[in-house]
């Protein structure tokens, strides 16, 4: 930067007669300006807590249509006639609450599919209690997930379902699609870990067998505590979590839109739930440490999960800057499946940005909706069979 441009930017440091102010006056003016800005920002501080308590957890109208233990299945109210026969179900991870997929009106993944005419459902796994600590892959995939699919088969009359799995939910969806390929019509994976042999991500290193004794951990705690998960996620990028973000918030406290989006995101990020001890054990031991899924060695229930059994169309979405699930964990999936119709899309975003970032909302999700629509059977003048309960 040249001296001329720097001088231009310092126009505010000139006096009323146009002459440049002496250094001590410039400093005085800077301190005064910054103090005023500080007061202006601080005036917004008392409203932060009130705003945090009003953060909506899901913006698209929905109804609970099925429950099993802690699990709730939400059905989004159609915004017009249902255009496609096969229902679409979102399978979210067990570590966070699923409302990130429908967090703000302009950042809702769910609404893209609802508006396009898909009969859309979302699984909220709920918060496991101490009694749920023995639930592993078998219980979640062959139990809960398969029960949800059965319910959708009965209620919609469709023999198959479309599945969109996010993160750990994507891994479980892949296992379901491999064990029961006849149930899944189309599979969309979003930031899903499949091949855990990579050492690109910090989680891969921390979860290494040499560094983490998952058996002792689960035996001691029962379920994996939400606070532990939260700490791990924060420590992936400590400078961003503890310095950059608070500083940015402070500087933009008087920007209403920024604050609203910031609080919404932070509310979700801090809304971790514990993970059932057994599935945490299996996930860390069999996937992170032994990479059994990518090697077709993982046993769920009594059956070996063979990814080659997945023959339905697959859309694999991943983020270039994902700290939790690096693209190298997701990318091998397409080569491991037996599907002939598969597509991979990489977006320059992070783990969350892949779902709700501006680029994802403008480019990725319209494309994903179009991809699914082209592979779905259109309804012919027929009303949806499932009615919202209105609860």
Partner 1 sequence: MNNESKSTGHPGDLLHLWYDLVSHATEAYQPWAGATMSPEVLRQSRSNLYKAWGDSWERFLRSSSFLDNNRQYMTGTLEMKKQVREFFNWLHHEMQLASADDVDQIMATLRRLGEDLREQLEEIHSRLDDFGARLHAGPTQEAPAGKGRDEDVSPPERGNGGRPASLARHTRRVR
CA distance readout (Å), 171 to 117, 132, 195, 299, 369: 26, 20, 10, 14, 21
Among 15, 215, 270, 320, binds partner 1 (CB under 8 A): 215
The Cα–Cα gap between 204 and 241 comes to 20
Distance from chain centroid for Cα 24: 51
331 binds partner 1 (CB under 8 A): no
240 binds partner 1 (CB under 8 A): yes
11 binds partner 1 (CB under 8 A): no
Among 48, 55, 212, 331, binds partner 1 (CB under 8 A): 212
The two tokens of residue 236 are 């992936």
User: Taking a C-beta distance cutoff of 8 angstroms, is the pair 73, 123 a contact?
Assistant: yes
Identify the DSSP state of 107: G
User: Taking a C-beta distance cutoff of 8 angstroms, is the pair 189, 372 a contact?
Assistant: no
CA distance readout (Å), 107 to 96, 112, 328, 357: 18, 9, 26, 7
258 binds partner 1 (CB under 8 A): no
Q: Which is nearer to partner 1, 171 or 278 (CB)?
A: 278
User: Taking a C-beta distance cutoff of 8 angstroms, is the pair 64, 73 a contact?
Assistant: yes
135 binds partner 1 (CB under 8 A): yes
206 binds partner 1 (CB under 8 A): yes
- Which listed range, 38-46, 141-149, 253-261, 366-374, lies at the site for partner 1 (CB under 8 A)? 141-149
10 binds partner 1 (CB under 8 A): yes
Most distant CA pair in the chain: distance in Å? 86
Among 92, 99, 286, 288, binds partner 1 (CB under 8 A): 286
Among 87, 128, 136, 193, binds partner 1 (CB under 8 A): 136
- Which listed range, 89-97, 159-167, 302-310, 341-349, lies at the site for partner 1 (CB under 8 A)? 302-310
The Cα–Cα gap between 97 and 112 comes to 20
- Span 79-98, contacts to partner 1 by CB under 8 A: none
Question: How many residues belong to the site for partner 1 (CB under 8 A)?
Answer: 65
Q: Is 134 tagged catalytic?
A: no
Kindly state the smallest distance separating residue 105's Cβ from partner 1, in Å.
26
Q: Is 351 tagged catalytic?
A: yes
**Angle of the 256-269 helix axis to the 45-53 helix axis, nearest 10:** 50
Among 217, 260, 266, 334, binds partner 1 (CB under 8 A): 217
- Which listed range, 238-246, 267-275, 351-359, 360-368, lies at the site for partner 1 (CB under 8 A)? 238-246
389 binds partner 1 (CB under 8 A): yes
Q: Which is nearer to partner 1, 195 or 264 (CB)?
A: 195
Q: Which is nearer to partner 1, 300 or 368 (CB)?
A: 300
E-only strand ranges, 138-258:
161-166, 184-190
Catalytic residue, chosen from 102, 112, 167, 224, is 167
The two tokens of residue 149 are 């699919």
Judge residue 388's burial from the number of C-beta atoms within 10 Å of its C-beta, 0-12 exposed, 13-18 middle, 19 or more buried.
middle
227 binds partner 1 (CB under 8 A): no
Contacts of 319 (CB under 8 A, 6+ apart): 191, 327, 346, 347, 348, 349, 350, 351, 353, 354
Residue ranges that bind partner 1, judged by CB under 8 A: 1, 3, 6-7, 9-10, 64-69, 130-131, 134-139, 142-144, 147, 151, 180-182, 199-200, 202, 205-206, 211-213, 215-217, 219-221, 235, 237-240, 243-244, 278, 281-282, 285-286, 299-306, 309, 389, 391
Catalytic positions, please?
167, 322, 351
């Amino acid at each position: 930067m040249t001296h001329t441009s720097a001088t231009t930017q310092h126009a505010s440091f000139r006096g009323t007669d146009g002459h440049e102010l002496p250094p001590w006056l410039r400093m005085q003016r800077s301190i005064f300006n910054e103090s005023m800005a500080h007061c202006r920002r601080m005036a917004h501080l008392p409203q932060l807590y009130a705003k945090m308590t009003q953060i909506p957890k899901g913006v698209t109208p929905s109804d609970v249509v099925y429950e099993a233990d802690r699990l709730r299945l939400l059905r989004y109210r159609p915004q017009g006639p249902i255009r496609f026969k096969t229902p679409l179900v979102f399978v979210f991870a067990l570590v966070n609450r699923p409302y990130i997929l429908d967090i703000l009106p302009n950042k809702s993944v769910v609404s893209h599919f609802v508006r396009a005419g898909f009969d859309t459902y979302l699984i909220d796994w709920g918060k496991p209690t101490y009694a749920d600590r023995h639930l592993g892959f078998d219980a979640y995939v062959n139990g809960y997930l398969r029960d949800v699919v059965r319910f959708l088969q009965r209620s919609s009359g469709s023999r198959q379902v479309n599945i969109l799995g996010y993160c750990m939910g994507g891994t479980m969806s892949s296992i379901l699609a491999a064990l029961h390929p006849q149930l899944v019509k189309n599979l969309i994976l979003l930031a899903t870990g499949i091949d855990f042999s990579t050492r690109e991500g910090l989680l891969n290193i921390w979860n290494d067998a040499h560094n983490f004794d998952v058996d002792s951990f689960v035996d001691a705690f029962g379920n994996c505590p939400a606070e532990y998960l939260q700490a791990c996620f924060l420590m992936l990028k400590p400078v961003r979590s503890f310095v950059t973000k608070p500083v940015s918030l402070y500087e933009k406290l008087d920007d209403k839109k920024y604050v609203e989006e910031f609080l919404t995101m932070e509310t979700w990020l801090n809304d971790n739930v514990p993970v059932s001890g057994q599935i945490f054990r299996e996930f860390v031991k069999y996937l992170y440490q032994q990479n059994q899924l990518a090697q077709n060695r993982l046993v769920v229930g009594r059956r070996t999960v063979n990814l080659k059994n997945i023959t339905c169309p697959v859309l694999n979405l991943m983020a270039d800057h994902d700290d939790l699930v690096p693209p190298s964990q997701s990318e091998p999936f397409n080569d491991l499946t037996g599907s002939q119709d598969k597509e991979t899309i990489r977006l320059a975003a992070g783990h969350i940005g892949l779902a709700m970032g501006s680029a994802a909302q403008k480019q990725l999700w319209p494309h994903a909706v179009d991809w699914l629509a082209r592979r779905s059977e259109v309804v012919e003048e027929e009303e949806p069979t499932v009615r919202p309960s209105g609860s």
